[in-house]
Amino acid sequence: NLRNTHINIGLRQLSRRTIASSARRQLDNTVKEKQKLFQEDNGMPIHLKGGSKDALLYRATMTLTVFGAGYVVYVLFTAAMPKKPQ
């Protein structure tokens, strides 16, 4: 029927357009979406406002920070007090 023919022609034209644009690797402008995400009134601080990826990266960084701070104190302490037989 006529409606389906129109849809098929439309789809063929659309696929031609998407193939052409994917060949040129067009990037979509997602700034508006990001602006919406980061202006959401959810009380989250900026470093966690992006979602679960932020939380994961933050936790990994903080773990290294705490472990590193402890480890450096240990290393410097032992370096300052070597166990040398007299």
Partner 1 sequence: MAHQAHAYHMVDPSPWPLTGAVAALLVTSGTAIWFHFNSTILMTLGTMLLLLTMYQWWRDIIREGTFQGHHTPPVQKGLRYGMILFITSEVFFFLGFFWAFYHSSLAPTPDLGGCWPPAGITTLDPFEVPLLNTAVLLASGVTVTWAHHSIMEGDRKPAIQSLALTILLGFYFTFLQGLEYFEAPFTIADGVYGSTFFVATGFHGLHVIIGSTFLAVCLLRQIQYHFTSEHHFGFEAAAWYWHFVDVVWLFLYISIYWWGS
Quick one: which of 6, 12, 16, 47 contacts partner 1 (CB under 8 A)?
47
d(CA 70, CA 33): 41
Structure tokens at 49: 């406002």
Positions 7 through 46 that interact with partner 1 (CB under 8 A): 27, 29-31, 34-35, 37-39, 41, 45-46
| Residue from 76, 58, 54, 77 nearest 66 by CA | 58
Tell me how many residues contact partner 1 (CB under 8 A).
Answer: 30
Between 13 and 67, whose beta carbon lies closer to partner 1?
67
d(CA 43, CA 52): 15
Structure tokens at 53: 């990826």
List of residues contacting partner 1 (CB under 8 A)? 27, 29-31, 34-35, 37-39, 41, 45-47, 49-50, 57-58, 60-62, 64-65, 67-69, 71-72, 75-76, 79
